[in-house]
Structure 1
């Protein structure tokens, strides 16, 4: 039997919170589009799966995410509205962002055109720069954790932590294909920190620009032994070089989010401006 609450549209997740339809999830959580009676608005309910309710680590992860989201407030980060970490069905209530995940967009349509890719890069850099100011490391930036709203929004702070805690990691944390080398082998290949998020930014932007991953999926942590694949010719050289610079094996060699944003802005400014076609009325 699958580890699920067996909810259906119209069922009550918690008092005042009604399930509408499933919108994904993972090993520990199931996620639902829901209607919040208090807010009188659609939200996303992130519900701990029944098999994890009694696991101390799962409840601790939920509390960690609450703590991290309570510390941040930024247009590029999905907001936390409420939570219950002590009830029989622990959950978070999060902002519902109208848009697909970046991963589903790539799976359906392939690589992003520049008029989507460049704003995405700027918006993610904005969120990452802000997190640096708050001393928060996300540690799980990847296409499935980016919602392509206006602006794009970063979600899932379940493994996020402050920089001091991240620097003390001795075990791998993150999603294999989007983990910086120092996240794969903390303490051996470097110290986990804000630069680790920039590596994940580079891997995410690479996939968005190319439609395929920067490294092989197998063996695990191919990024430790391989160099990134070549980007397709449709990606301007200056942009490609910028993305690849974020994938530098040494954290000290990666640019920060503000530097990347400053490099992206002129590229965006040089894109052809949209205009109406056909005849025009001359006044």
Structure 2
């Protein structure tokens, strides 16, 4: 539970800034709140990610917002949310993002269970294209997961708050990401392998596993343990078995993404190439028209 001093408590019609009027709270994390707002500058709905009031003087939080802005400036891809503008100083540091109309992948799985191939195959190709581009602009996302994907055509990847260049990812000494979707090298960054581009391939593997199965690839570990092998089952266990109904080539590709060794995982373009035959085999949508007589 968040205490009152950790929230802004904006209600519909409240001014977040002179140009941004709150419509509703969308959610948030430990350091930020996200609101749907009406923007007088673009004259359209936008998403405003604003630093929580109790985090206004936290240097790590402010650096995180600055890092996200820098990453969004680097990434100009149709599968990644766009930054419209930002304010890193002042009473309410924030970033203004385009509003994408659609459900989060996590919400779809929670409400309806596993996705159909017509849903998860385009999703996989969309996210793979974004990760392929990330390598060209030197961005490692480090938090690929269902709640950071908005479903649409194309799907959209959001939340670059922990993203950084590959050499910065390799320098990590603490865990960054979300437990269920972190690669082994993110779970234990002081081990033999370091986080990098391949960590995001693990993230898409864990995300696709959940999308096609309806459950996570690994059980929950002991979150209070200081022993990484107890907190993160992916360090010592193999992923669960995918349901038998999952096509063999899809299952093989997902398991390849979840290889413990980063060097053994496919690159994003190889992931897309492996799934394209399954995508091509899907029946074309049938269009029907009613003729008035």
Aligned twin of 2:147 = 144
Q: Is 1:129 aligned to residue 132 of structure 2?
A: yes
Residues in 1 aligned to 2:78 and 2:190: alpha-carbon distance in whole angstroms: 34
Among 246, 270, 278, which residue is 2:281 paired with? 270
C-alpha displacement of 1:218? 2.1
SS in 1 for 2:237: coil
Q: Is 1:89 aligned to residue 92 of structure 2?
A: yes
Aligned twin of 2:253 = 242
The unaligned stretches of length 5 or more in structure 1 are none
Residues in 2 aligned to 1:234 and 1:20: alpha-carbon distance in whole angstroms: 42
- Contact persistence 1:137–1:161 (CA under 8 A): yes
C-alpha displacement of 1:149? 2.1
SS in 1 for 2:220: coil
C-alpha displacement of 1:238? 1.0
- Contact persistence 1:101–1:148 (CA under 8 A): yes
Residues in 1 aligned to 2:70 and 2:107: alpha-carbon distance in whole angstroms: 28
Aligned twin of 2:52 = 49
Residues in 2 aligned to 1:125 and 1:32: alpha-carbon distance in whole angstroms: 28
Among 18, 37, 40, which residue is 1:34 paired with? 37
C-alpha displacement of 1:87? 1.1
Moved segments of 4+, more than 6 Å? 277-280
Among 85, 88, 107, which residue is 1:104 paired with? 107
- The alpha-carbon distance between structure 1 residues 278 and 5, as it changes in their structure 2 partners (threshold 3 A), is closer
- The alpha-carbon distance between structure 1 residues 158 and 278, as it changes in their structure 2 partners (threshold 3 A), is closer
- Contact persistence 1:181–1:189 (CA under 8 A): no
Residues in 1 aligned to 2:290 and 2:72: alpha-carbon distance in whole angstroms: 51
TM-score where L is the length of structure 1: 0.96
- Contact persistence 1:47–1:91 (CA under 8 A): yes
C-alpha displacement of 1:187? 3.2
Aligned twin of 1:257 = 268
Task: Give aligned pairs, total.
Answer: 280
Residues in 2 aligned to 1:276 and 1:120: alpha-carbon distance in whole angstroms: 22
C-alpha displacement of 1:277? 6.3
- Contact persistence 2:249–2:275 (CA under 8 A): no
Q: Is 1:14 aligned to residue 17 of structure 2?
A: yes
- Contact persistence 1:12–1:18 (CA under 8 A): yes
Residues in 2 aligned to 1:157 and 1:184: alpha-carbon distance in whole angstroms: 19
Residues in 2 aligned to 1:275 and 1:48: alpha-carbon distance in whole angstroms: 47
Residues in 2 aligned to 1:72 and 1:99: alpha-carbon distance in whole angstroms: 21
TM-score where L is the length of structure 2: 0.93
- The alpha-carbon distance between structure 1 residues 39 and 278, as it changes in their structure 2 partners (threshold 3 A), is closer
- The alpha-carbon distance between structure 1 residues 274 and 58, as it changes in their structure 2 partners (threshold 3 A), is same
SS in 2 for 1:98: coil
C-alpha displacement of 1:274? 2.0
Residues in 1 aligned to 2:277 and 2:125: alpha-carbon distance in whole angstroms: 11
Residues in 2 aligned to 1:236 and 1:87: alpha-carbon distance in whole angstroms: 53
Residues in 2 aligned to 1:100 and 1:5: alpha-carbon distance in whole angstroms: 24
